[in-house]
Structure 1
Amino acid sequence: MSRKVYRYVSHTITAHPNTDVTYEAECLRCDWRDVQGDDSGPVDIACMEHTGRTGHAGFRRICTSFALVTRDE
């Protein structure tokens, strides 16, 4: 008969230091894509301007952040 030993270690995930959240958007009907920025406001405005020019109303909004996992002591 074999025995198994499980050891659990607690971890914490936090925002990676010295990094920013970036935002970008892409149209679901054409190849339009807004360049990424560190504020969602200008990306949202670019989407609304694209809708005004083309009538395209669906967008994928992407928010990217970097994380750091550390072992709890």
Structure 2
Amino acid sequence: MTRRVFRYVPFTIEQDQTAEPEYEARCVSGDETECGAESGTHRDPGPVEEWQRRRTQETGHRRYRRNFGGYAVMRPPAELAELARLTGGTA
């Protein structure tokens, strides 16, 4: 039987600065079924918000599902990262 010991390591969660976030919206107006029109994916919220404004002006629809996507990186404490660097391991 193999015995394992798990230790708590206080990683921090940070936004990955090397990856662009993604913004999009979908029109969910409608009584029985959602409209379903979509803004498309953009790297900035501005075009999505402008799409929502135009869509509301054109159709009167006022309810939207907004999505934001980004990437996260788990960062170990500095001392753990330094230990891994010195020993050739990964943190």
Larger helix proportion of the pair? 2
Aligned to 2:7: 7
Q: Which has the larger radius of gyration?
A: 2
Unmatched segments (≥5 aa) in structure 1: none
1:10-53 Cα shifts (integer Å, max 9, x gaps)? 10111224201111000012010001111111110100101111
Work out which structure has the larger RCO, using CA pairs closer than 8 Å and 6 or more positions apart in sequence: 1
The runs of at least 4 aligned residues of structure 1 exceeding 4 Å deviation read none
Aligned to 1:19: 19
SS at match of 1:38: coil
Q: Give the % identical residues.
A: 32
Give the TM-score normalised by the residue count of structure 1.
Answer: 0.83
Unmatched segments (≥5 aa) in structure 2: 30-34, 81-91
The answer on 1:58 being equivalent to 2:55 is no
Deviation of 1:69 (Å): 0.7
- Equivalent pairs counted in the alignment come to 69
From 43, 46, 55, the counterpart of 2:48: 43
